[in-house]
């Protein structure tokens, strides 16, 4: 990695460092001695604030957590005019309109950039309450093979792409080393936490009803359920990108569960 030391280089602008991935990027950049300037994600939508934050910046860690692309053209325009490179945290699975559009805007902007795509993160906190309370984890598609990537591994790749040359134009698909089914993932967490945990399959219609009652638009719910259904016959594949780029194998889901077992007890 290019050695960037405090006070003798431009800072990295990290947007959303309170986030699942962003907090690890911030910690890893700090450990590498890289100067970091932070910006709250909503400030991406305020061009004047973004413009001020981008002054003198070498590289930007960018996420787009918004469902639409509203404001994206302005934000990417500001970044393209002011910064050296952008590393964009994107998705490979159910892709939000905003993420697709930001990727296209970056490609058309001329700014040097790298796209990091993941299917899903290992952060399985949506199951924590049920597992802690001893309840079954109810859901549709327990046999769907999903490939969660550890957020620390995404962060390690992001830090390299922010600091090293050689990643311009790359679209990296980051995965874990295997694709356990959702039911297996619940079992793995239970083993790591030392308490019984199991999946209970519910019909697709019941899962859809739950999604709608928690505010998901019908098209989003149907898209997510179609996606999970397809992964029963066609599990998400594993790539070697994390190891290829960092020299260290991607962490397994079991390793994530072991390191976070306290959250499930
Ligand atoms: N989570 C996944 O499973 C997953 C899978 C594949 C790809 N991705 C992609 O990776 C990116 C990073 O994911 P992540 O899980 O690290 O993000 P996250 O933790 O959900 O959010 C990152 C930051 O965005 C801000 N934020 C979150 N939701 C927001 C909202 N609705 N409106 C405004 N600001 C919001 C917060 O920053 P501030 O408090 O600083 O504003 C937060 O720290 C996502 O944008 C997504 O495109 C996620």
Q: What residue ranges do the domains of the chain occupy?
A: 12-123+148-177+237-251
Question: H-helix or E-strand containing 212?
Answer: helix 204-213
Nearest atom in ligand 1 to the alpha carbon of residue 64 is 45
Nearest atom in ligand 1 to the alpha carbon of residue 43 is 41
Q: How far is the CA of 181 from the centre of ligand 1 (A)?
A: 24
Residue 63 φ/ψ, nearest 5 degrees? -125, 160
Distance between CA atoms of residues 96 and 90, nearest Å: 9
- In percent, how much of the chain has pLDDT > 90? 88
Task: For the chain, count helices (H), then strands (E).
Answer: 11, 10
Nearest atom in ligand 1 to the alpha carbon of residue 96 is 47
Given pLDDT bands bounded at 50, 70 and 90, which one contains residue 68? confident
Nearest atom in ligand 1 to the alpha carbon of residue 17 is 43
Q: How far is the CA of 66 from the centre of ligand 1 (A)?
A: 8
Distance between CA atoms of residues 235 and 178, nearest Å: 10
| Rg (alpha carbons) of the chain, rounded to whole number | 19
pLDDT at 94 over 80: no
Q: How far is the CA of 205 from the centre of ligand 1 (A)?
A: 28
Look at ligand 1, atom 1, and give the residue with the nearest C-alpha.
121
Given pLDDT bands bounded at 50, 70 and 90, which one contains residue 39? very high
- The verdict on domain 12-123+148-177+237-251 having CATH code 3.40.50.720 is yes
Q: Specify the length of the chain in residues.
A: 265
Q: What is the DSSP letter of 234?
A: S
Q: What is residue 226's predicted lDDT score, i.e. its pLDDT?
A: 96
Residue 39 φ/ψ, nearest 5 degrees? -145, 135
Q: Give residue ranges with CB within 6 A of ligand 1.
A: 16, 18-22, 40-42, 63-66, 89-91, 99, 118, 120-121
Look at ligand 1, atom 4, and give the residue with the nearest C-alpha.
120
| Span 96-153, pLDDT tens digits | 788 899 999 999 999 999 999 999 999 988 999 999 999 999 999 999 999 999 999 9
pLDDT at 75 over 70: yes
Q: What is residue 179's predicted lDDT score, i.e. its pLDDT?
A: 97
pLDDT at 7 over 60: no
Q: How far is the CA of 137 from the centre of ligand 1 (A)?
A: 24
- Two tokens, residue 55: 């002054």
């Amino acid at each position: 990695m290019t050695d960037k030391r405090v006070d003798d280089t431009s800072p990295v602008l990290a947007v959303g460092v309170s986030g699942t991935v962003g907090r690890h990027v911030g910690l890893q950049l700090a450990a590498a001695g890289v100067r970091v300037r932070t910006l709250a994600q909503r400030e991406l939508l305020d061009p004047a604030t973004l413009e001020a934050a981008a002054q003198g910046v070498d590289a930007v860690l960018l996420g787009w957590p918004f469902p639409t692309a509203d404001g994206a053209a302005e934000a990417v325009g500001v970044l393209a005019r002011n910064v050296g490179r952008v590393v964009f945290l994107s998705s490979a699975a159910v892709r939000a309109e905003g993420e697709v559009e930001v990727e296209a805007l970056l490609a058309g902007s001329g700014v040097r950039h790298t796209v990091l795509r993941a299917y899903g993160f290992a952060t399985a906190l949506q199951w924590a309450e049920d597992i802690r309370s001893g309840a079954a984890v109810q859901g549709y598609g327990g046999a769907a093979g999903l490939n969660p990537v550890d957020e620390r591994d995404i962060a390690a790749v992001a830090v390299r792409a922010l600091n090293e040359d050689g990643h311009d134009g790359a679209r990296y698909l980051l995965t874990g080393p295997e694709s356990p089914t959702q039911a297996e993932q619940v079992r793995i967490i239970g083993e790591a936490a030392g308490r019984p945990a199991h999946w209970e399959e519910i019909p697709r219609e019941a899962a859809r009803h739950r999604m709608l009652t928690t505010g998901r638009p019908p098209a989003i719910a149907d898209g997510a359920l179609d996606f999970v259904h397809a992964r029963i016959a066609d599990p998400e594949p594993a790539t070697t990108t994390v190891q290829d780029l960092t020299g260290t194998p991607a962490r397994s889901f079991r390793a994530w569960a072991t390191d976070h077992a306290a959250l499930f007890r």
